[in-house]
Amino acid sequence: MKTKLFILSLAMCTLMACDKQNPLLSDVQTPFGVPAFDQIKNEHYLPAFKEAIRLNQAEIDAIVNNSELPTFANTIEALDRSGMLLDKVSSAFFNVLEADGNDEMDAIANEVSPLLSDFEDGVILNEELFRRVKAVYDNRSNLSLTPEQLRLVEETYKSFADHGANLPADKKERLKQINQELGLLSLKFGQNVVAETNAYQLFITDETELEGLPESAKIAAKEEAVAAGRPDAWLFSPKRTSFTPVLQYCKNRNLRRELLMAYTTRCNHDNEYDNKAVINKTMHLRVEKAHLFGYDCPADYILSDCMAKDAKTVDAFLQSVWEPSLAAAKREAAALQEMMDKDLPGEKLQPWDWWYYAEKLRREKYDLDEEEIKPYFELSNVRQGAFLLAHNLYGINFEKIEGMPIYNQDVEVFKVTDVNGDLVGVLYTDYFPRAGKRPGAWMNNICSQYVDAKGIDHRPVIINVGNFNKPTKDNPSLLSMDDVETLFHEFGHALHGLLSKATYKSLSGTNTPRDFVELPSQFMENYCYEPEILKTYAFHYQTGELIPDEMIEKINAAAKFNQGFVETELLSASILDMDYHEITDTLDFDVNKFEAASLARMHMIPEIIVRYRSTFYNHIFTTGYEAGYYSYTWSAVLDADAFAAFKETGDILNCEVAERFRHMLEQGGTRDAHELYLEFRGQEADPKHLLRRKGFIE
């Protein structure tokens, strides 16, 4: 014990003696303990990482060198409570890198990634540390542990074992090299996607080429062009907020094709941003890594810690949903072809035609024009609707707070409190695209929830990030129906993090299996267009008028429209992901031919392009969803079934069901995900609720 105290004291003294001007290392007092984003500069990150790694290593050394016998407290708990400074530095850096990065931060990431990989491998492959962990694990039934403590012991041991602690020395050394290379490849892949997305600019100087494009989209494109120094033009890019309105509304078929191809061929042009070689190397290393652990393919290695357990289970699940989805998509394609024949006799429906004719058919069939709906979906109103929904379900409240440290002026911050006034947590929102932000939408922890050794519950700080339409000089940010669903989705992730009531940080919040973690997010999407929920947030941004009942009826009448396309686009990406991660050898392959063969095996129709083509598939090559993209559909079965639990009571805000659902969210990863769901629902999830929601069955 004296050795442990000496090392920790020495480390703390060193930390106090370091650069007091570095806000990541000095004792800067900020509200709720959030990072001092407003004071952090790029030059602060690297020294902070090095010092945080050094301090964390001292904590690990103290555990290893403890002369006392291994116990839950001096080994497992001490390990979970170590690394607080490193968590703080990593969170600050990587959140900003993803949302507001630049070339200098990319360079820092390239330097930091090997340092983190070396350190993490040094911990997980430390034989003396693992010996102590294993000793506690082997004796766990005799330690009178609480259920959460037992879970922590088992998950800690499994983490060590799954990351190589049981491997022989030569394989451990190779594993370190693989992990370091994979870290750098992941960074390279993501940087290439951002760079190529930003590099493409299409200037249109003849307004007649934009026939059919809504005025709001033209105004946004004009402002982008002005910002780029071309006030004579309209600027379009492969960012979804830019090209989606063109696909939906623009009569100019060549323009639709140009922009869709610019989006779907990113990082596939044999230039400096090409990701094909990155994919090859990544998959070689993932296969080799799986082989080190005795698995035939990466999917079986990765899925061993998920609800699905193995690739065979995932493949069977995806196929069961793929067949009705593809059948629906074929029916939709035939209907769109029939409509297109009226405009362009003899022309074949192409992917760049689908959105355009789907929008026309939706207007014809349901008298529903999304441009008429968007004025009712002003961003701050939609967010407030999500906040009110959380209040009605769980009793929590959201209050905007000014003067918080932020990294960009677009960021807003909210204090979240419980019905009794207790702090639940803090929520950051960052919704608008910018050059340094990666595409898509996501939720991250800024500070995780945990209970410290003194019994103090440290409440979480969560961030929601998106890429919605920026306000223009004439209009606020108006959301599409897809955008509304995305906002509610990411807010569901945020609630999962905010409501956490775990003791240990590694079990708190969204630290659950990947095929469970999408349940809380997708569950919230069910509420978006329920009439009683719409009436809490859908107000016309100019008149303040509540969305008319007639429009609500049209929205819900069209809810099952185009769902074959939606599911086929999604599932094809899931199957492509699994095909990559069921590779069993390390031979070079042609990425484009591999992708084409995968789509051919699933009988993908040519009118639809897979949601994420390989060379910009960030989910599986940068963000940790490899062999896991299926989880969106797996969780969709759960979320549809969970929403049915409310529907069956006749009250979608039923307090008793909501209390059970909140309890499930609060548990984080402290219990088995399957057991948690069974406890909430009282039965296995029934896929019929998802198929019925999509309109695939009556």
What 3-state class would DSSP assign to 565? helix
Question: CA end-to-end span of the chain, whole Å?
Answer: 67
What 3-state class would DSSP assign to 236? strand
The alpha carbon dihedral of 552, 558, 560, 564 has a sign of negative
Residue entry with tokens 């069974």 = 678
Task: Report DSSP state, residue 212.
Answer: T
What 3-state class would DSSP assign to 84? helix
How many C-beta atoms surround the C-beta of residue 582 within 10 A? 18
Q: Are 64 and 127 in contact (CB under 8 A)?
A: no
Picking from 153, 126, 146, 13, the residue whose alpha carbon sits closest to that of residue 71 is 153
Q: Are 509 and 500 in contact (CB under 8 A)?
A: yes
Q: DSSP letters along 581-630, please? A: HT--S-----HHHHHHHHHHHTT--TTS--SS-GGG-HHHHTSS-TTTTT
Task: Show the tokens assigned to 688.
Answer: 């019929």
Picking from 521, 494, 448, 512, the residue whose alpha carbon sits closest to that of residue 667 is 512
Picking from 352, 298, 237, the residue whose alpha carbon sits closest to that of residue 608 is 352
Picking from 585, 581, 669, 665, the residue whose alpha carbon sits closest to that of residue 626 is 581
Q: Are 389 and 529 in contact (CB under 8 A)?
A: no
Instruction: Tell me how far apart the alpha carbons of residues 189 and 268 are, in angstroms, rounded to a whole number.
Output: 12
Instruction: Tell me how far apart the alpha carbons of residues 399 and 390 are, in angstroms, rounded to a whole number.
Output: 13
Q: Are 294 and 304 in contact (CB under 8 A)?
A: no
Give whole-number Cα distances, 530 to 230, 538, 555, 557, 562, in Å.
43, 11, 10, 12, 19
Task: Show the tokens assigned to 14.
Answer: 């060193």
How many C-beta atoms surround the C-beta of residue 544 within 10 A? 8
Considering the candidates 51, 359, 490, 595, report the single residue annotated as catalytic: 490
Non-local (6+) Cβ contacts of 119 within 8 A are: 53, 56, 57
Q: DSSP letters along 476-488, please? A: --B--HHHHHHHH
Whether 490 is a known active-site residue: answer yes
Give whole-number Cα distances, 475 to 8, 215, 379, in Å.
55, 11, 11
Picking from 539, 499, 529, the residue whose alpha carbon sits closest to that of residue 659 is 499
Q: Are 508 and 462 in contact (CB under 8 A)?
A: no
Q: Are 574 and 311 in contact (CB under 8 A)?
A: no
Give whole-number Cα distances, 102 to 99, 106, 438, 599, in Å.
10, 6, 11, 35
The alpha carbon dihedral of 131, 132, 133, 136 has a sign of positive
The catalytic residue positions are 490
